[in-house]
């Protein structure tokens, strides 16, 4: 999982008061970046294979294979183009913890590029948060699981803990 809000939306600052004022946003899809990276690696492999097929000689008499060689290299180039320009069609929802409004929001980007709020809950309506070093489980008031968020690093763990301290019960 990558913490989307750590880079642009949330600059790390010192002081507990700064942590309470800033909104924390987190991407909840841990596999999205890995899938796109694997597709881009395969795209580069196909591109190199198609180029190498055109660049190197196949044998002494390759005139009859020239059409096949060009066709295979064009197919590899087209496949590489598709894999290298691949985008995630269904971006993962983002979780926003807003300490000023004292609410939890889950937003999703729709086809037009606009953000839609999927879930909006006040901190007082949450039952608690179970924190571990690599996961934050947000619980309902009856103890059932509402959201399970993978945490990228210790910084994300500390930010969630600091923002929810005093407003939501935190379980270790």
As a whole number of Å, the CA-based R_g of the chain is 24
pLDDT band at 48 (very low <50, low <70, confident <90, very high): very high
More confident residue, 116 or 28: 116
Helical H segments across the chain, by residue range = 4-7, 16-21, 32-55, 66-84, 154-164
Does residue 1 register a pLDDT over 60?
Answer: no
Does residue 3 register a pLDDT over 50?
Answer: no
Mean pLDDT of 78-95: 81
Does residue 102 register a pLDDT over 80?
Answer: yes
Does residue 114 register a pLDDT over 70?
Answer: yes
Task: Report how far residue 151's alpha carbon sits from residue 135's, in angstroms, rounded to the nearest whole number.
Answer: 5
Does residue 162 register a pLDDT over 70?
Answer: yes
According to the model, what pLDDT value does residue 61 have?
64
Sign of CA dihedral 22, 161, 117, 12: positive
Quick: pLDDT tens for 126-150. Answer: 888 888 888 888 888 888 888 888 8
More confident residue, 65 or 104: 104
The pTM score is: 0.51
Mean pLDDT of 139-166: 83
Domain ranges of the chain: 4-29+91-171, 34-84
Closest CA to 46 of 79, 72, 85: 79
Q: Tell the CATH topology of 4-29+91-171.
A: PH-domain like (2.30.29)
């Amino acid at each position: 999982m990558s913490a989307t809000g750590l880079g642009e939306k949330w600059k790390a600052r010192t002081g507990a008061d700064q942590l309470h004022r800033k909104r924390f946003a987190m991407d909840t899809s841990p596999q999205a970046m890995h899938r796109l990276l694997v597709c881009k690696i395969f795209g580069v492999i196909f591109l190199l294979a198609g180029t190498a097929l055109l660049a190197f000689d196949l044998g002494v008499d390759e005139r009859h294979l020239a059409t096949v060689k060009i066709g295979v290299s064009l197919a590899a180039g087209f496949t590489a183009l598709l894999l290298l320009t691949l985008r995630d069609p269904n971006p993962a929802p983002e979780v926003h913890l807003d300490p000023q409004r004292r609410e939890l929001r889950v937003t999703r980007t729709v086809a037009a590029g606009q953000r839609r709020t999927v879930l909006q809950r006040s901190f007082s309506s949450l039952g608690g948060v179970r924190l571990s070093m690599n996961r934050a489980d947000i619980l309902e008031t009856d103890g059932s699981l509402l959201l399970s968020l993978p945490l990228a690093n210790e910084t994300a763990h500390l930010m969630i803990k600091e923002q929810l301290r005093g407003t939501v019960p935190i379980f270790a």
